[in-house]
């Protein structure tokens, strides 16, 4: 089979490409390299089943070319990270809204089965945890740019539902919860790789706020497996699924675990939010996934715990510093 991955040179996209190639599929990776990197896909450069197209998914002509003859689309292309959204709000909003709109238009024209990458940011600051797929969205004021990523992804999901009902587009949605692992950059607020890099360099690990905010992290290998399970299971069509790990941890605890796992002498440094982020930032204090739905449908559950995640990220970063 042949698949198009938008954002194919990105963190998750490059891991997905590897899995599909291992299956014997042909992969077309479309990426404008604004967030992705050729380094992520260099090992595929001589692969007869891999094609890389450097281009923007907003360009309809490029997208038409990339999607020729494909059996499915994994739409992972997006502007990611709270810090990036705050620093480049208009560009990020256009990418996340119109990028998905363009992909869905092209996919709907030929009824190409499509995976839409969504996010736990969708749920906002809903205090009822863990978060289920039918949980309410509780987000802040539209005057706070910080929430535009959540808003854009919610509209992306609504667009998929509309194209499904009006054009017969087969689709499935995966909502990622803090996917981490090798090849992820610490830029734009990705906390775990930033912590690991600081620890390996012996630099202070900067924790924003008081560190009591908590998250659950999911290894990218597990996340890709979750994507594959729902994409290739027709019972999942037209639905959204949480894809996340196990084991809630506060950000302060995360810093301590990173220091222990890397044998680092780094100290933890607490930084007020107003010094860490531009104006308009608001944090979510707790975000915990309920993955019962995907488990019951496909049997998927995460296999790699937080310490394994840290070890894999550290191994990658050690080769770069």
Q: Which residues are catalytic?
A: 149
b/e sequence 212-242, b meaning 16+ C-beta within 10 Å = ebbbbbbbbbbbbbbbbbbbeeeebeeebbb
* Contact yes or no for 71/27 (Cβ under 8 A): no
**Distance between CA 113 and CA 152 in Å, rounded?**
21
Grouping H, G, I as helix, E, B as strand and the rest as coil, residue 98 is helix
Tell me how far apart the alpha carbons of residues 246 and 294 are, in angstroms, rounded to a whole number: 14
Torsion of CA 15, 316, 213, 220, to 10 degrees: 20
What is the 3-state composition of the chain as percent helix, strand, coil, each rounded to the nearest 5?
45, 20, 35
């Amino acid at each position: 089979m042949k698949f198009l991955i938008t954002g194919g040179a990105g963190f998750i996209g490059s891991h997905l490409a590897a899995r599909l190639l291992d299956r014997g599929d042909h992969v077309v990776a479309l990426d404008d390299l604004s967030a992705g990197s050729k380094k992520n896909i260099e090992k595929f450069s001589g692969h007869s089943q891999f094609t890389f197209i450097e281009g923007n998914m907003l360009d309809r002509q490029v997208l038409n070319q990339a999607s020729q003859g494909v059996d499915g689309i994994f739409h992972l292309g997006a502007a990611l990270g709270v810090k990036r959204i705050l620093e480049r709000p208009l560009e990020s909003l256009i990418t996340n809204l119109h990028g998905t709109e363009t992909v869905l238009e092209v996919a709907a024209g030929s009824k190409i089965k499509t995976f839409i990458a969504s996010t736990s940011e969708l749920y906002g600051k809903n205090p009822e945890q863990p978060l289920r797929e039918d949980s309410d969205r509780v987000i802040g004021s539209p005057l706070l740019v910080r929430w535009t990523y959540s808003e854009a992804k919610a509209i992306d999901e609504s667009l998929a539902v509309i194209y499904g009902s009006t054009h017969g587009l087969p689709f499935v949605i995966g909502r990622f919860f803090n996917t981490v692992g090798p090849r992820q950059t610490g830029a734009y607020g990705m906390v775990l790789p930033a912590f690991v890099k600081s620890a390996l360099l012996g630099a202070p690990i900067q924790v924003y706020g008081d560190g009591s905010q908590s998250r659950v992290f999911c290894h990218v290998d597990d996340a890709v497996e979750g994507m594959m399970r729902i994409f290739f299971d027709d019972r999942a069509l037209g639905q959204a699924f949480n894809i996340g790990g196990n084991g809630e941890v506060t950000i302060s605890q995360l810093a301590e675990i990173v220091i222990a796992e890397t044998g680092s002498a780094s100290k933890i440094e607490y930084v007020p939010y107003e010094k860490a982020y531009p104006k308009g930032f608001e944090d979510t204090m707790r975000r915990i996934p309920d993955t019962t739905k995907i488990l019951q449908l496909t049997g998927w559950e995460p296999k790699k715990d937080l310490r394994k995640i840290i070890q894999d990220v550290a191994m990658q970063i050690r080769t770069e510093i």
